[in-house]
Amino acid sequence: MGKPTGFLDYERRVSKDVSPKQRIKNFNEFHEHLSMEEQQLQGARCMDCGVPFCQSGVTLCGMTSGCPLHNLVPEWNDLVYTGNWEQAYLRLHKTNNFPEFTSRVCPALCEAACTCGLNDDPVSTKENEYAIIENAYEKGYAAPQPPKVRTGKTVAVVGSGPSGLAVADQLNKRGHSVTVFERSDRIGGLLMYGIPNMKLEKHIIDRKIKVMEAEGVTFVTGTDIGKDMKAEKLLKEYDRVVLCCGSSQPRDITAPGRDAKGIYFAVDFLTRNTKSLLDSDFQDKQYVDTKGKDVVIIGGGDTGNDCVGTAIRHGAKSVTQIEMMPKAPDKRADNNPWPQWPKVCKTDYGQEEAIAVFGHDPRIYESTVKEFVKDKNGNLKAVKIVSLTWEKDEKTGRMNMKEVAGSEKVLDAQIVLIAAGFLGSQKYVTDAFKVELDGRTNVKTDSGKFATSVDKVFTAGDMHTGQSLVVKAIRQGRECAREVDESLMGYTNMYVQ
């Protein structure tokens, strides 16, 4: 521990955000980070706890507390404080393959479990992580390091999202020859097209992919396994196949008028937006233009917030976000104590921008869409919403939603974006490999394992567990890679945590 009184001597400081009205003028990241000297003082605030909850990654009341990767947080916080940046990178990279991603898009489960946060502000661990990895690239610590010995074993990874990339990175470092197949035109999966550029600029992904290529990983884009290439071909040509195709079946809304023109799934909206940005800086017009239109977003999670920010950047006339759940409290409730994940109301960047532009929070809580209203040409012109209330079923004890009579309201809307989550894996992929599914259409394995019902076929990430966080997908990829390695070699010495 570098400075025992650091948490008393220094206040928490984090990067400043560009003002909402300024940052909506482009799709760039908008954080003004601390200097290296200032960041080192933030490292001093870490208390090196006897029980570091920040790296626990345990489940408390159905929620994750601490880092699922079990990052060695106190160790590299101390190394940041002492200015030992290379060693800080080595400790960070030991458990996290992609800190350049998690330091931008992770909700910082580590900070929510920080002991400092019990009575004061938590350590700015996520910002320290960002400083470590960006300094590592600048100083050359993150340069390619190809394996010195190859095993002669081959592995095909289907899908290049965070879990697929983690599987590939781990197995390649072990010495296996890995090929990653991606159906899109760019590598990254969810990271590339599911997360907008202002949260994760895509040159950051490309930078890491170039490192992995230099280390020996082969990437094949524009190849949809199960359609462009048969599963049998992969199983014949590779010793092992790992399915990391994500939970990419969007949940639909089945209200009357659903066939109206102007209704899109959020994932399609975000994908088209980022692809058009990267391909032509929007000159090709191959995106959903919200300029001058009333936009209604169904769903209150991160994806819904990303749709808010994207719609505003294109000049939407109005943006409304519909949430079925009630508004969370502004402060922790008594039944939600530390170190549980804090179930509090979060106003994210998109909502901040909506407040700045339109003068009010875009969210309407405890509501759902009852009808999509079309004009005579079949175009969407409005949505009818209704308020919801929660009532307890006396027989089952479950809380059920009921419509509030007479609460209907009509909102102008020419664009609706459905951000209601995902249902599971896509059928054509699982059918192609004939893998067994669970009740939620995720690929089934034994508990805590990654081998599927088909010999030599493994799975990891959202396709295995359902929609979750990037950091959890990376963890899944690392654990899956260890199991694949053991199946190939008869043993494994691969480090996971």
239: left (phi over 0), alpha (psi -120 to 50) or beta: alpha
Q: How far apart are CA 117 and CA 131, in angstroms?
A: 21
The CB-side HSE value for 244 (13 A sphere, CA atoms) comes to 37
- Residue 2: its pLDDT value, please? 62
Q: Is 15 in contact with 34 (CB distance < 8 Å)?
A: yes
Residue 402: exposed, middle, or buried by beta-carbon count in 10 A (0-12, 13-18, 19+)? exposed
Question: What region does 70 belong to: left with phi over 0, alpha with psi -120 to 50, or beta?
Answer: left
Domain range 263-418, its CATH number among 1.20.1070.10, 3.30.420.10, 3.50.50.60, 3.30.300.30 = 3.50.50.60
What is the predicted pLDDT for the residue at 398? 87
Q: Quick: pLDDT tens for 418-447.
A: 999 998 899 999 999 999 999 989 999 999
Closest C-alpha to 245, from 309, 336, 156, 354: 156
pLDDT by residue (tens digit) across 53-110?
Answer: 999 999 999 999 999 999 999 999 999 999 999 999 999 999 999 999 999 999 999 9
Parts of the chain belonging to CATH 1.10.1060.10: 6-139
Sorting pLDDT into bands at 50, 70 and 90, what band is 1? low
Question: Which residues, other chains included, contact 210 with Cβ-Cβ below 8 Å and sequence gap of 6+?
Answer: none
Helix axes 302-313, 266-280, angle to 10 degrees: 50
- The contacts of residue 43 (CB under 8 Å, 6+ apart) are 2, 6, 77, 78, 79, 80, 81, 82, 123, 128
Q: Is residue 246 left, alpha or beta, with left meaning phi > 0 and alpha meaning psi from -120 to 50?
A: left
> What percentage of the chain carries pLDDT values higher than 90?
92
What fold does the segment set 6-139 form as a domain? Answer: Fumarate Reductase Iron-sulfur Protein; Chain B, domain 2 (1.10.1060)
pTM beyond 0.85, yes or no: yes
pLDDT of residue 38: 96
Closest CA to 461 of 411, 422, 409: 422
> What tokens appear for 445 in the block?
């394995």
Question: Please, where in the chain does CATH 3.50.50.60 lie?
Answer: 154-248+423-489, 263-418
Rounded to whole angstroms, the Cα distance separating 185 from 179 reads 16
136-187 confidence digits (pLDDT tens): 999 999 999 999 999 999 999 999 999 999 999 999 999 999 999 999 999 9
Would you call the peptide bond into 250 cis, given omega within 30 degrees of 0 as the criterion?
Answer: no
pLDDT at 394: 83
Question: Would you give the distance in Å from CA 224 to the centre of its chain?
Answer: 22
Q: What is the DSSP string of 141-198?
A: TTS----S---S-EEEEE--SHHHHHHHHHHHHHT-EEEEE-SSSSTTTIIIIIS-TT
Cα torsion 344, 105, 425, 445: sign: negative
Instruction: Label residue 50 by pLDDT band (50, 70, 90).
Output: confident
Q: Which CATH architecture has domain 154-248+423-489?
A: 3-Layer(bba) Sandwich (3.50)
pLDDT at site 49: 87
